[in-house]
C-alpha cells in the first residue's frame, strides 16, 4: 500500500463515519417532539428555483407569520431576475408599518451561481457545479463567521428547498458543514406539487440528507419511509 493511500484512508474512514452520524441525526430530528417557543423568532432562508419552483416556494412563504419568521433570506440563482422581483413583491405585499419602521432590514436577497443551466451539456456541467458549491460553502460556512455577535450560529435557523438542481448543491454545502462540525441550519425539502406519482431527481438525491421531507400527494408516501404528508400546501 502506497504512503498516499495510508494517509488518505483515515480521512476517508472519518468522512464515512461522520456522514453516517449526520444522516442518523437527521432521522432522529424528524421524530423529536416540537419545542414551542412562540416568543422566539426564527430566521429562515428560502431557495427560489425559478419558474414554477419559485411560485411554489413563495406560496409557502406567504403563509408564514412574518413577525415570527424573521429575518428572511431569499436565495436565487444567478441571472434569475424574475424570482428576485417576485420575492420583493411578496415582501412589499406583506409589509406593515412596524416592519417598514425597523432599523434593521427584515429580508435580504442572495445570489448564487447556477449548478447547471437549462439544456447545458453534461460535460460542461462539473465546472459550474464546483463554482456553485464554492459559493454555497462561502454562504453557509465562511460568511457567518464574520457576523458580529453570531459566533457558532448558522447563517439561518431554517432552510426551505423545493428544487431544482442548484438546491442539491446548497444542501451539499450544509452537509459538509455538519460533517466537519460547523453550525448548520435545519433543512426542509418540500417536493413539488407537480410530482404526483414519483419523486423528482432533486428529491431522490436529498431524501436522506434533510431534516424534514414533505410531499404533497399521498401516493408519494412509502411504507416505513421518512416522508411527511400534510396535504397540498401550494
pTM recorded for the entire structure: 0.83
Q: How far apart, in whole angstroms, are the C-alpha atoms of residue 123 and residue 213?
A: 31
* Cα–Cα distances in angstroms (integers) from residue 46 to residues 11, 16, 31, 101, 218, in the given order: 33, 29, 23, 24, 24
pLDDT at 68 > cutoff 70: yes
CB atoms near residue 76 (< 10 Å):
25
Within the chain, strands assigned E span 44-48, 72-77, 107-112, 158-161, 186-190, 212-215, 227-229
Q: What is the pLDDT of residues 120-139, one digit of tens each?
A: 787 788 889 999 999 999 99
Q: What is the pLDDT of residues 89-123, one digit of tens each?
A: 999 998 864 455 555 668 999 999 998 887 778 77
**41-116+123-229 fold:** Rossmann fold (3.40.50)
Q: What is the pLDDT of residues 35-67, one digit of tens each?
A: 445 557 899 999 998 889 999 999 999 999 999
pLDDT at 24 > cutoff 70: no
Q: How far apart, in whole angstroms, are the C-alpha atoms of residue 146 and residue 66?
A: 26
Burial 198-220 (b: 16+ CB within 10 A, else e): ebbebbebbbebbbbbbbbbeeb
* Backbone dihedral region for residue 122 (phi beyond 0: left; psi -120 to 50: alpha; all else: beta): alpha
Q: How far apart, in whole angstroms, are the C-alpha atoms of residue 228 and residue 133?
A: 28
Q: What are the domain boundaries of the chain?
A: 41-116+123-229
Asked whether 93 and 66 are in contact (CB, 8 A), the reply is no
Amino acid at each position: 500500500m502506497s504512503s498516499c493511500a495510508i494517509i488518505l484512508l483515515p480521512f476517508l474512514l472519518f468522512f464515512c463515519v461522520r456522514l453516517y452520524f449526520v444522516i442518523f441525526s437527521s432521522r432522529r430530528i424528524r421524530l423529536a417532539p416540537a419545542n414551542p417557543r412562540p416568543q422566539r423568532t426564527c430566521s429562515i432562508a428560502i431557495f427560489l428555483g425559478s419558474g414554477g419552483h419559485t411560485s411554489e416556494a413563495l406560496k409557502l412563504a406567504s403563509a408564514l407569520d412574518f413577525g415570527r419568521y424573521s429575518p428572511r433570506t431569499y436565495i436565487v440563482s444567478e441571472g434569475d431576475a424574475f424570482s428576485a422581483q417576485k420575492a420583493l413583491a411578496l415582501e412589499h405585499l406583506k409589509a406593515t408599518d412596524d416592519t417598514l419602521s425597523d432599523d434593521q432590514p427584515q429580508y435580504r436577497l442572495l445570489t448564487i451561481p447556477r449548478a447547471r443551466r437549462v439544456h447545458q451539456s453534461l460535460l460542461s456541467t462539473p465546472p459550474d457545479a464546483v463554482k456553485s458549491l464554492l459559493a454555497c460553502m462561502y454562504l453557509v460556512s465562511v460568511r457567518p463567521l464574520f457576523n458580529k455577535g453570531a459566533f457558532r450560529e448558522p447563517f439561518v435557523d431554517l432552510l426551505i428547498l423545493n428544487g431544482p438542481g442548484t438546491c442539491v448543491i446548497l444542501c451539499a454545502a450544509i452537509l459538509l458543514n455538519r460533517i466537519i462540525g460547523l453550525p448548520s441550519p435545519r433543512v426542509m425539502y418540500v417536493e413539488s406539487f407537480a410530482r404526483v406519482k414519483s419523486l423528482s431527481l432533486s428529491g431522490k438525491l436529498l431524501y436522506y440528507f434533510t431534516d424534514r421531507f414533505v410531499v404533497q400527494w399521498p401516493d408519494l408516501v412509502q411504507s416505513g419511509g421518512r416522508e411527511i404528508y400534510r396535504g397540498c400546501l401550494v
